[in-house]
A and B are shown apart, each in its own frame.
Chain A
Amino acid sequence: MSKAILMQGNEAAVEGAITAGMRFFAGYPITPSTEIAEQSALRLPQVGGKFIQMEDEISSIAAVLGASAAGLKAMTATSGPGFSLMQENLGYGVMAEIPCVIIDVQRAGPSTGLATSPSQGDYMQARWGTHGDHPVIALSPSSVLETYTLIIRAFNLAEKYRTPVIFLMDEIVGHMREGVELPDPGGLIINRRKMSFHDGANKQCYFVPEGEYVPAMKPFGQGERYNITGLAHDESGFPVNSNEIAGKLVGRLLDKVEKNADDICRVEEFAMDDADTAIVCFGGTARAAMDAVLAARAAGKKVGMFRPVTVWPFPEKALLARLPQLRQILMVEHNHGQMLLELQRVTRCARPIHFLGRVDGTVISPSDILGKLNEMEGTHHAE
């Protein structure tokens, strides 16, 4: 008998989160993410954690930020409509540097859209949904097993860089079941770098040593008093009106992700070694792309797949490394052309970029992609 078990993507997200040390979940159930709340409600009490169903998504992320500031690894899960409501407090988490994981299992929008249908229409919202210049880390899994391993990485990045991490799933992966054997995470769990007021000479809670980007974190409410705010603040955490301090703070927040992009960015490549045509996709779209690559290869075409696993920041270096060998690129995504914009920006359109998208709630099939590849051989105009 095989040791594998059948598991849903949403369930794997919860199991991975618990393995990563998640001990607090606050959320408001919404299709197609509901199983994450259900499974968290079941599993967290078993490991000494807490689950709270909140009255809405605004309070859900507020509770998550509070729990994390107090010292617990915390997560919430939602879909597009709820993700919209979370945007203000997401920015608060970025500014106050509170680690947490926010899962968005994307569904067809805009607004309440098609509640049970797949989409990848929140890609740009993940980047720019909250106001102001801010850093974003977002990861997107394409299988049930990867959902498990990648959400562990999401928690690790949240702790390492003291920032909310967006886990950008889609209905395809969230609601899909596959056989998996969950791997032992070994020593891969990163825990919070805690700091006490009694450490060394510096007693400021947002103190960052020269040459570093991330302050250590004091657990809030455990005997030492300090301030947390979404206002521009100095090292003590108290608001300031100094343009100099505000500029330095925002600069450091952006730098801590931008300057560490090599550490944060991951891609998956398939059949890219000799490819002259790259299918670029992310998340559940990769399932159809893989079959399309296999079929195209069987027909003698040099097609490969390039999949950003870290979708924000966009893995520019890895893509530019492939660009010289490419004749053309096909962007496939379940939206009207969102990652396409990043592709155009990064490549400066040095190669023809073709686009296959979908906004009707149906799934792009391998034959749709093969049809587009055939069409591309007839015309070479960038769209």
Chain B
Amino acid sequence: MKDRLEMRFAGSGGQGVILASVILAEAAVISGLNAVQSQAYGPEARGGVSKAETILGREKIWYSKVSTPDFLLALTQASLEKYGKEMAADGLVMIDESLTVPDWMDRGRVIAIPILRTAREEVGKAFTANIVAVGAINRALGLFDDGTLTEGVRRHIPAGTEEINAKALAAGAALIRPEGNKEGI
């Protein structure tokens, strides 16, 4: 991992992108890194654009907002078009397979994977899409060991849902092919 990693998570309210950003920040704290997490959303409980940000670093993090993301997760077309333009030059974009990569975007920096479909069909619960994404992000960026990530998830899910969340994490990680993104960011 770089000394400082700026991550952005964007989707529709209710998709759980804020929780995904919280879990990765928690895993960072567990592993002794500095982490700051924040979010921006509209007044709606469901729908609307939801954006969350996590900054991980070896040094103390002061300003809590992301300026040039090294990583973007986009779960809706609108959020991809809006935030895809603000990436660092070597930044990685992870999108759901259902989205269309805009012409202006460097396809070489985009990972398109079936996050929503995997949650729905393989894990069996559409609402686990954010945990599927966490598993995929962790594998793609080479961030944390399995134990740390699992503990990060456990601290933010209701008791009794450990099994389905473990399944979602594993299914997400399996979406990242070993030959791709091996070096992490």
Q: Report whether A365 and B42 are in contact in the complex, using a CB–CB cutoff of 8 Å.
A: no
0/1 interface trace, chain B 108-135, chain A, CB 8 Å (1 if under): 0000000000000000000000000000
B100: chain A residues at CB < 8 Å are none
Q: Report whether B62 and A288 are in contact in the complex, using a CB–CB cutoff of 8 Å.
A: yes
B33: chain A residues at CB < 8 Å are 179
0/1 interface trace, chain B 57-98, chain A, CB 8 Å (1 if under): 000011111010000000000000000000000000000000
With contacts A6-B37, A116-B42 known, is A172 near B30, CB below 8 A? no
Closest to B60 in A: A290
What count of chain A residues pass the 8 Å CB interface test? 26
- Name the one of B26, B37, B64, B155 contacting A172, with C-beta atoms under 8 angstroms: B64
Q: Give Cα A327 to B70, complex, Å.
A: 39
Q: Report whether A6 and B62 are in contact in the complex, using a CB–CB cutoff of 8 Å.
A: no
Q: Give Cα A321 to B118, complex, Å.
A: 63
0/1 interface trace, chain A 272-292, chain B, CB 8 Å (1 if under): 000000000000101110110
Q: Report whether B30 and A2 are in contact in the complex, using a CB–CB cutoff of 8 Å.
A: yes
A5 located at the interface, meaning its Cβ lies under 8 Å from any Cβ of chain B in the complex: yes
- Name the one of A6, A178, A179, A291 contacting B63, with C-beta atoms under 8 angstroms: A291
A1 located at the interface, meaning its Cβ lies under 8 Å from any Cβ of chain B in the complex: yes
0/1 interface trace, chain A 1-38, chain B, CB 8 Å (1 if under): 11011100000000000000000000000010000000
- Name the one of B26, B61, B65 contacting A363, with C-beta atoms under 8 angstroms: B65
Closest to A144 in B: B36
B26: chain A residues at CB < 8 Å are 5-6
A246 located at the interface, meaning its Cβ lies under 8 Å from any Cβ of chain B in the complex: no
Q: Report whether A178 and B65 are in contact in the complex, using a CB–CB cutoff of 8 Å.
A: no
Closest to A7 in B: B29
Q: Give Cα A294 to B60, complex, Å.
A: 12
- Name the one of A6, A175, A290, A367 contacting B67, with C-beta atoms under 8 angstroms: A367
Q: Report whether A175 and B29 are in contact in the complex, using a CB–CB cutoff of 8 Å.
A: no
Closest to B156 in A: A6
- Most chain B beta-carbon neighbours within 10 Å: one of A5, A176, A177, A367: A177
Which residues of chain A in 333-379 are interfacial with respect to chain B, using CB atoms and an 8 Å cutoff? Answer: 363, 365-367
- Name the one of B31, B38, B61, B64 contacting A2, with C-beta atoms under 8 angstroms: B31
A179: chain B residues at CB < 8 Å are 25, 28-29, 33-35
With contacts A2-B30, A6-B25 known, is A287 near B43, CB below 8 A? no
Q: Report whether A291 and B62 are in contact in the complex, using a CB–CB cutoff of 8 Å.
A: yes
A228 located at the interface, meaning its Cβ lies under 8 Å from any Cβ of chain B in the complex: no
Main secondary structure of the interface of A (DSSP, over half): mixed
What count of chain B residues pass the 8 Å CB interface test? 28
Q: How far is the CB of A320 from chain B (nearest CB, A)?
A: 27
Q: Give Cα A175 to B40, complex, Å.
A: 9
0/1 interface trace, chain B 145-182, chain A, CB 8 Å (1 if under): 00010010001000000000000000000000000000
A115 located at the interface, meaning its Cβ lies under 8 Å from any Cβ of chain B in the complex: yes
Q: How far is the CB of B6 from chain A (nearest CB, A)?
A: 13
B155: chain A residues at CB < 8 Å are 5-6
B42: chain A residues at CB < 8 Å are 116
- Name the one of B28, B30, B37, B63 contacting A1, with C-beta atoms under 8 angstroms: B30
Closest to A286 in B: B62
Closest to B48 in A: A116
With contacts A179-B35, A363-B65, A365-B63 known, is A2 near B41, CB below 8 A? no
Closest to A2 in B: B32
B64: chain A residues at CB < 8 Å are 172, 176, 284, 287
B40: chain A residues at CB < 8 Å are 116-117
Which residues of chain B in 1-37 are interfacial with respect to chain A, using CB atoms and an 8 Å cutoff? Answer: 22, 25-26, 28-37
- Closest 7 A/B residue pairs (Cβ): A179-B29, A290-B62, A177-B37, A6-B26, A2-B32, A291-B63, A115-B43
19 A-B pairs with C-beta separation under 8 A: A2-B32, A5-B29, A6-B155, A31-B43, A116-B40, A172-B64, A176-B36, A177-B38, A178-B36, A178-B61, A179-B25, A179-B29, A179-B33, A179-B34, A288-B62, A290-B63, A291-B62, A294-B62, A365-B67
Starting from the known contacts A1-B148, A178-B36, A291-B63, 11 additional A-B residue pairs (CB-CB under 8 Å) come to: A2-B32, A6-B25, A6-B26, A6-B35, A6-B155, A115-B43, A172-B38, A176-B36, A286-B62, A291-B62, A367-B67
